[in-house]
Structure 1
Amino acid sequence: MSAMRHLLDLCKRRGFLFQSAEIHGGLRGAYDYGPLGVELKRNVSQEWWNAMVYQRCDVVGIDTAIITPPAVLKTSGHVDQFTDEMVDSKLSKDRFRPDKAPTLHFDKEKMHIPITAPDKKTAKLWEHEIRTNLAPGSSISREGKSIFLKMDKFNGSEIILEQESGSPVTIPYKGYVDPASNSPFLTEARPFNLMFKTYLDPIDPIDKVITTTLDGTKTTPPMDLSQTRQSVDKTLYPSLTYLRPETAQGVFINYATVQRSHPHLKVPFGIAQIGKSFRNEIRLEHAIFRTPEFEQMELEYFVAPWQADQEFTRWRKSRMDWWKRFSRNFETRFRERAHAQDELAHYSSGCVDVEYLFPWGWGEVEGIANRGDFDLRMHSEATGIKLQYTDTILMQERQQREKATGVKKTEGLDRERFIPHVVESSCGLNRAMLALMLDAMEVVDEQGKIVDLEQQMASIIGSTDNNKNWRTVMKLHPRLAPIKVAILPLVSNNPDLVDLCQSLSSELRAELQIPVSVEMQSTTIGKRYYRMDEVGTPWCVTVDYESLQDGQVTIRDRDTGVQTRVHYSKILEIVRDGLRLYPRS
């Protein structure tokens, strides 16, 4: 995965992304966004908001609380059902999801199962653990950091090891092994709730836990472990809250408030939200692709039951069009994958994922789902509050007909008042940022030929003869680029050139409200161009001595490398036109 390594190196070196608390040893799965990263993330979210809210008359925004009371998540099913299966490796102690784990790999001729340790020292410890506790008497060999188990039989559900002494050892096989080591020595799968608990209480909850546990030991007979846990949970429940696992529930519980405060919204209409969510993921992977703290961009679009299928289809196309607008390799790196029937939630009648071809394979960046009326119906039943939509026009027309004819009719009432169905678009902001950066990143050699990083064995981070002259161009859409314009004085210590650069920078900032960088490094113009290419800056403007005489400056296009001589007063219009969502022909 050299492309991913190269991107992460660039992100750290240029200020897109840092390991959180790195000077204190770092925190696994936590990342901080640097000056360029925060701009890129903000631009992606702003383009999503622009497409979902500003460009529409039927969608409004909302921002709901992160801390969520248990009743909300109990009603939505998250407390009881928001779980993954979790398995522990008895050797590495790593935890993983069995549905994401690989199948057993073994040498069919030699009947060897290779188990790969991180290093030779660990391999020795693992070999001792296998010989002593996990498979005593089995035929085992070791070479370097690899351990080989000699297998006698494998019938698909059991692994029977060849023995040097003692009774045969049978290992149950459930269809997966430790992803990191290929070890079949695993614990039984068990459910693992993904939500983070927290407590709103002026009294330290740990004191309550200690007190309740001590009280349990004083009873006759003393409480067993399960009784103690129930007692502790009961004691803590009044102050229990959760960090929300998704932003959607905040929209559903505010549906009636939004509808009441914005009576002009008629079905179909939507409520959009961007905000942080938290999931206690079993396995954190691929930098910001899967982290416990992440940001979601979600739209809940409320429709009449008979509109749901049509709106689901329409939103699928709309979202794919959005990705196409901001990507460079849409046809080859993006796809839409429909969920199979056994993948759907019990309340969903349809769901598709927008997937990107990451260096490790296809991964979801957005999901579009037809959720039915499940969420509003469940919250309505739990609270007794009617979360429904009333079509006042149809109701008034019926009442007028009944008044004129004196005949009351019951047909059609279900079209006057109903619980709306929901079409949801849920996009991960962090994943979207990662996908768009990988999609935009282009590495070229000294001849200008594109380098396929996935076919290169050597890392380009070093300075070997093969890669020291390679350079990176981040061909982000101009509206996503962290820095829109870089202004370069030909000589950084000439006050007149610097003053002209600062004047042009101030005009662009004031008129366009965009980030502009004045590059004052004492290096060549070419190196400064390449520096700006690396972070995705669409335009570089060079101010030289002739500029002081005739006002002409050189503007360079990032993607083509074409340099054009224009009067500095034209720069504003060139950049303004280039930043249009739909540029002029």
Structure 2
Amino acid sequence: MSVTELDSLDTLVSLAKSRSFIFQSSEIYGGLGAVYDYGPLGVELKRNIRDLWWESMTQKHDNIVGLDSAIFMDPKVWKASGHLDGFNDPMIDDKQSNKRYRADMLIENEIAKLRSKEKAEKADELQQLLDTAGSRDGLCEDLYNIIMDYEIRAPESGAFEWTEVRQFNLMFETQFGATSSGGDGDDSVYLRPETAQGIFVNFKNVMDTARQQVPFGIAQVGKAFRNEVVARQFIFRMREFEQMEMQYFVEPGTDGESYDHWLQKRMEWHKALGIREEKLRVEDHPEDKLAHYAEAAADIQYEYPIGWQEVEGVHNRTDFDLSQHKEFSGKKLSYYDQKKEERYIPYVIETSIGLDRTVMMVLADAYREEEVNGNTRTVLKMNPELAPTKVGIFPLIKKEKLQSLAHDITNELREDYNVLYDESGSIGKRYRRQDEAGTPFCITVDFDGVESEGEDTVTIRYRDDMTQDRVPVSRLKEVIDDKMKEWSPENS
């Protein structure tokens, strides 16, 4: 049996729509760029991932608690965090096509193109200019000069007609309250571009009321919004997205050890999710590429159909955030260590994972096309714990005796699993539909099992290898639970 893995993003997009995982938002009106809706199967997959993350963070740690902070916050929060002044991308427009591009990414693409043509010397020269952009005439001016000097053309039109490079703030701005002026002013608020700041401004509340002592963590899942000008690659980069973040507060001096601990722990979580090890890697940020607040940072990357990309970041944010909010709010955000009898502002180790990117990773990693008896079978071999539907239940044909038992089994298993009853189409087509949905178990009720002496039996079919067992109805839950525990990506 020949097996083909996913090699095209278009293939994933097509399956995601046809099997009700993900739809383009407002599709009947032509769609809204870089905004997507989760369909019946997608919302279940997303929930399963979210629940496993939440359990791994809060339920399995005595010193990590949850939070759900508001999307709207006082604008001073974003002033303190640096987002109001510095959360920008340098943008440039192609005058011919009116397409907008990130200037630094245009240059990075040109460098990659030069390397592919084995023009290493010129690529290194261009990389050096990019690395030092901002140190000559200012960032926008330097990027513009590089693009002009190296005659970098627009990727789509091939034109060399550029506007000036200018900074574009990524935060969505709106007005707050019934008396809003509708323009710039004191009533302006922002849709949060990240969930982390909601944790930092609640640090003292949580520490005081949840009786937490350093080291401790605060976990949160929530929506964030970024007005990405160049948003593409399906749900990998969207304007509305969901983050799962945990900020871990530690004593200064222990931050290096804690950073290493959480980086290892987060990589183990991705493997436990069922993602193949060879598709995962850790990419450390070089010192000259670190964010202004970071002592250390690393990306956990997955090899998507679009190449190696970040799915999660682990960062040592030092005491930057709490110090900033202490200064701007005038509130004490320090911690008093009773054992050491000293007061300090904790350092923060952050784990930040994109929930939508994780959904895309799970779908991409699970996708297979297999040649079976001259036909192509598309199947999602994902971890059964993540599968939107755990069990499909089918009467072999539409006969009352078979339908009755199938309904009884459906109702019984529904107490423990998300199940689907289906009596439409041939049994082969029903299997194929569930293969594409990632359903790990399909139960078929037939006359051999209903009319046999003694206890009723059914056929249970396993998604990954298509083998089947005949099982007494009373043992179905036991068999399903055992098979779910036995599953591993190596055996799928």
TM-score, structure 1 as length reference:
0.74
Q: SS of the residue aligned with 1:29?
A: coil
Where does the alignment leave 5 or more consecutive residues of structure 2 unmatched? Answer: 1-5, 115-127, 130-146
Corresponding position of 2:475: 570
Q: SS of the residue aligned with 2:70?
A: coil
Whichever of the two has the greater Rg, that structure is: 1
Corresponding position of 2:142: none
Distance between the aligned counterparts of 1:353 and 1:44, measured in 2? 19
**Larger relative contact order (Cα-Cα within 8 Å, sequence gap ≥ 6):** 2
User: After the TM superposition, which residues 82-481 of structure 1 pair with which residues of structure 2 at under 5 Å, given as runs?
Assistant: 82-101=87-106, 102-103=109-110, 172-173=148-149, 176-203=152-179, 205-206=181-182, 209=183, 233=184, 236-237=185-186, 239-263=187-211, 265-331=212-278, 333-395=279-341, 416-447=342-373, 469-481=375-387
Output the amino acid matched with 1:531. R
Residue 345 of structure 1: CA displacement? 1.2
Q: SS of the residue aligned with 1:352?
A: strand
Output the amino acid matched with 1:543. V
Is the contact between residue 474 and residue 535 of structure 1 (CA under 8 Å) also seen in structure 2? Answer: yes
Cα–Cα, structure 1 residues 581 and 88, in superposed 2: closer, same or farther, change >3 Å? farther
Is the contact between residue 103 and residue 175 of structure 1 (CA under 8 Å) also seen in structure 2? Answer: no
Output the amino acid matched with 1:243. L
2:25 counterpart of 1:24: no
Distance between the aligned counterparts of 1:302 and 1:175, measured in 2? 48
Q: SS of the residue aligned with 1:500?
A: helix
Distance between the aligned counterparts of 2:149 and 2:313, measured in 1? 33
Is the contact between residue 86 and residue 97 of structure 1 (CA under 8 Å) also seen in structure 2? Answer: yes
Q: Which moved more, 1:183-192 or 1:7-16?
A: 183-192
Corresponding position of 2:404: 499
Cα–Cα, structure 1 residues 388 and 204, in superposed 2: closer, same or farther, change >3 Å? closer
Distance between the aligned counterparts of 2:329 and 2:179, measured in 1? 29
Distance between the aligned counterparts of 2:285 and 2:32, measured in 1? 34
- Per-residue CA shift, 1:16-38, capped at 9, x if unaligned? 11111111221111111110000
Q: SS of the residue aligned with 1:366?
A: strand
2:424 counterpart of 1:518: no
Is the contact between residue 474 and residue 533 of structure 1 (CA under 8 Å) also seen in structure 2? Answer: yes
Corresponding position of 1:453: none
State the number of aligned residues. 450
Could you tell me which of 58, 62, 72 is aligned with 2:63? 58
Q: SS of the residue aligned with 1:192?
A: strand
Q: Which moved more, 1:56-65 or 1:500-509?
A: 500-509
- Per-residue CA shift, 1:203-231, capped at 9, x if unaligned? 4534xx5xxxxxxxxxxxxxxxxxxxxxx
Output the amino acid matched with 2:465. T
Q: SS of the residue aligned with 1:575?
A: helix
- Per-residue CA shift, 1:149-205, capped at 9, x if unaligned? xxxxxxx99xxxxxxxxxxxxx92357432323433222221111000011131453
Distance between the aligned counterparts of 2:473 and 2:486, measured in 1? 24
Cα–Cα, structure 1 residues 419 and 509, in superposed 2: closer, same or farther, change >3 Å? same
Output the amino acid matched with 2:204. A
Residue 394 of structure 1: CA displacement? 3.7
Residue 266 of structure 1: CA displacement? 2.2
2:463 counterpart of 1:542: no
Is the contact between residue 383 and residue 487 of structure 2 (CA under 8 Å) also seen in structure 1? Answer: no
Residue 381 of structure 1: CA displacement? 1.2
Q: What's the RMSD between the two structures over aligned residues?
A: 2.3
Distance between the aligned counterparts of 1:23 and 1:547, measured in 2? 47
Where does the alignment leave 5 or more consecutive residues of structure 1 unmatched? Answer: 107-155, 158-170, 210-232, 396-415, 449-468
Residue 328 of structure 1: CA displacement? 4.1
Distance between the aligned counterparts of 2:223 and 2:151, measured in 1? 35
Cα–Cα, structure 1 residues 343 and 564, in superposed 2: closer, same or farther, change >3 Å? same
Is the contact between residue 320 and residue 354 of structure 1 (CA under 8 Å) also seen in structure 2? Answer: yes
Using the aligned pairs only, state the percent identity.
44
Is the contact between residue 16 and residue 38 of structure 1 (CA under 8 Å) also seen in structure 2? Answer: yes
Is the contact between residue 384 and residue 487 of structure 2 (CA under 8 Å) also seen in structure 1? Answer: no
Corresponding position of 1:466: none
Is the contact between residue 303 and residue 421 of structure 1 (CA under 8 Å) also seen in structure 2? Answer: yes
Distance between the aligned counterparts of 1:445 and 1:426, measured in 2? 39
Corresponding position of 1:138: none
Output the amino acid matched with 1:258. V
User: After the TM superposition, which residues 479-490 of structure 1 pair with which residues of structure 2 at under 5 Å, given as runs?
Assistant: 479-490=385-396
Q: SS of the residue aligned with 1:258?
A: helix
TM-score, structure 2 as length reference:
0.87
Cα–Cα, structure 1 residues 176 and 361, in superposed 2: closer, same or farther, change >3 Å? farther
Is the contact between residue 487 and residue 542 of structure 1 (CA under 8 Å) also seen in structure 2? Answer: yes
Residue 577 of structure 1: CA displacement? 3.1
Q: SS of the residue aligned with 1:181?
A: coil
